[in-house]
């Protein structure tokens, strides 16, 4: 009987081991190494095969630092190979940290974009971009009331016509977002971006629990193949270290039983946008700022006339019996 129990235990253990090995093998099979950045980074000299670096980006043995903890820095890392798969998942191992206790910024972004290596005001990348941006924003620039705190993760899909408004923290162009306390952690922090069957899902592992927690999920997102994976960061008057430790991209299978549709080739689009939030304009952007253009003067004159009419004396006329007119005051 003991021998039988030992054999059963051995068989169960073997099956568990094989399932683990096969599962790990399948996962590694779908890893797209040409779109993956892992240690050791360096190839020959200071170059990293299949990746370009722009701005203040610095490569070390343990991380790729997009920006140091200094003001007015921009940096980025971009894959040189266009991504030619319809369904994919990107895991980013990152670290955002710095000396600031209460004031720090600005954050970093993970990209699936048509254009690369172009520094700009959107977390170190160009504005009016074409593609998908996932923004990990650490500082609130919003002048009106937020319905969330920072740090904050949000997504934006752009066909090249939308402006990312830093004064509003992009709230008028985001498709979804969630709060995520990922800064100054003593343990590893990760974000996962999954695009599968026109559904975008972003998850985080930032609580040292070794499991993914859903941040948001959005349906009806269309992204073409052939864009580039990248990550950028920026600092302004406030600063932080923005480090990328690894980026791993996996090809996914469609969840549809039959997926014979050709890969989407149009411009990026999204069916849903988050509701815009109230915004209080800066004084420099107010009505009275700048020169007094013609339409502003015209409106002021109209308002003045209306004010005089309301506050002044308005007579209404009553015909008298003797044929005269009698004016009475109306307040």
Would you say 5 and 12 are in contact if contact means Cβ atoms under 8 Å apart?
no
Give the distance, in angstroms, between the CA of residue 136 and the centroid of all CA atoms in the same chain: 6
Report the C-alpha gap between 123 and 128 in whole angstroms: 13
| pTM for this prediction | 0.73
219 phi/psi in degrees, rounded to 5: -95, 165
**Residue 89 token pair:** 């998942």
At 169, the pLDDT band (50, 70, 90 cuts) reads: confident
H/E stretch holding 59 reads strand 58-59
Exposure string of 166-178, with b = 16+ CB inside 10 Å and e = fewer, is bebbbbbbbbbbb
The two three-digit tokens of residue 96, written as one number = 């955002």
pLDDT in tens, 185-244: 999 999 999 999 999 999 999 999 999 999 999 999 999 999 999 999 999 999 999 999
Strand, coil or helix: 277: coil
Tokens of 225: 């193949």
Q: Which residue has the higher pLDDT, 278 or 91?
A: 91
Give the distance, in angstroms, between the CA of residue 83 and the centroid of all CA atoms in the same chain: 19
Would you call 267 exposed, middle or buried from its count of C-beta atoms within 10 A (0-12, 13-18, 19+)? Answer: middle
Give CA–CA dist 140/118, Å, rounded.
24
pLDDT, position 160 = 96
Q: What is the pLDDT of residues 80-104, one digit of tens each?
A: 999 999 999 999 999 999 988 888 8
322: pLDDT strictly greater than 50: no
């Amino acid at each position: 009987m003991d021998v039988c129990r030992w054999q059963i235990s051995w068989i169960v253990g073997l099956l568990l081991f094989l399932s683990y090995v096969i599962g790990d093998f399948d996962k590694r099979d779908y890893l797209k190494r040409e779109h993956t950045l892992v240690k050791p980074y360096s190839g020959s000299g200071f170059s990293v095969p299949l990746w370009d670096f722009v701005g203040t980006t610095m490569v070390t043995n343990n991380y790729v630092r997009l920006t140091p903890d200094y003001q007015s820095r921009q940096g980025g890392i971009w894959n040189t190979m266009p991504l030619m798969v319809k369904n994919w998942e990107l895991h980013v191992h990152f670290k955002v940290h710095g000396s600031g206790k209460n004031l720090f910024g600005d954050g970093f972004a993970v990209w699936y974009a048509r254009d690369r290596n172009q520094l700009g005001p959107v977390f170190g990348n160009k504005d009016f971009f074409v593609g998908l941006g996932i923004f990990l924003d650490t500082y609130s620039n919003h002048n009106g009331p937020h319905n969330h705190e920072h740090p904050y993760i949000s997504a934006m899909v752009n066909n090249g016509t939308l402006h990312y408004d830093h004064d509003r923290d992009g709230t008028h162009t985001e498709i979804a977002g969630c709060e995520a306390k990922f800064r100054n952690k003593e343990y590893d922090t990760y974000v996962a971006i999954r695009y599968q069957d026109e559904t975008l899902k972003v998850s985080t592992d930032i609580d040292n629990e070794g499991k993914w927690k859903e941040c948001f999920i959005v349906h009806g997102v269309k992204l073409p193949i052939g864009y580039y994976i990248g990550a950028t960061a920026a600092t302004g008057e406030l600063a932080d270290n923005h480090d990328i430790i690894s980026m791993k991209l996996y090809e996914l299978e469609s969840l549809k039983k039959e997926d014979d549709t050709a890969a989407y080739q149009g411009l990026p689009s999204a069916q849903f946008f988050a509701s815009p939030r109230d915004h209080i304009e800066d004084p420099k952007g107010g009505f009275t700022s700048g020169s007094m253009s013609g339409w502003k003067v015209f409106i002021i004159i109209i308002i003045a006339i209306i004010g005089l009419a309301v506050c002044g004396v308005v007579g209404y006329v009553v015909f008298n019996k003797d044929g005269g007119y009698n004016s009475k005051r109306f307040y």
